[in-house]
Structure 1
Amino acid sequence: MQTIDGRLYATRAELSERAGYKGEATLRNLWADRESNGHPPARRIDRALYWDLEAWERWHTEYRRKRNGVDYSGNADEELLPAAQAKVLGISVSAVSHYRDNPPPGWPAPAREEKLESGRMREYRTRRQLWEYADSGPRAGVAGRTPATGPDPKVALAAEALAAEPGRKAGETAAALAEQHGGGLSTWKRAVTEARRQG
Structure 2
Amino acid sequence: MARRTIDGRTALDRSGVAAHLRVAYTTVNNWHRHRTRFGFPDGFTYDGAEWFWLNDIDRFHTAHLKAKRAELTKVDRRGRPDDLVGSGTAAKILGYRSYRNLPDTLYNQPDRIQQLADGRVRRLWFRRTVWAVADARTGRQSTGRTPGTTGARKPHPYADDPRLQAALALLTEVGTSGQNRRGLGVELARRLGVGERTAQRLLTQARLVADGPPDNTPQATAPPTGTAHPTPTAHTATARSRRMPGQPGARP
TM range (shorter): 0.3 to 0.5
Greater share of helix residues, 1 or 2?
A: 1
Greater relative contact order, per chain length (Cα 8 Å cut-off, separation 6+): 1
Q: TM-score, normalised by structure 1?
A: 0.44
Bigger Rg, structure 1 or 2: 2
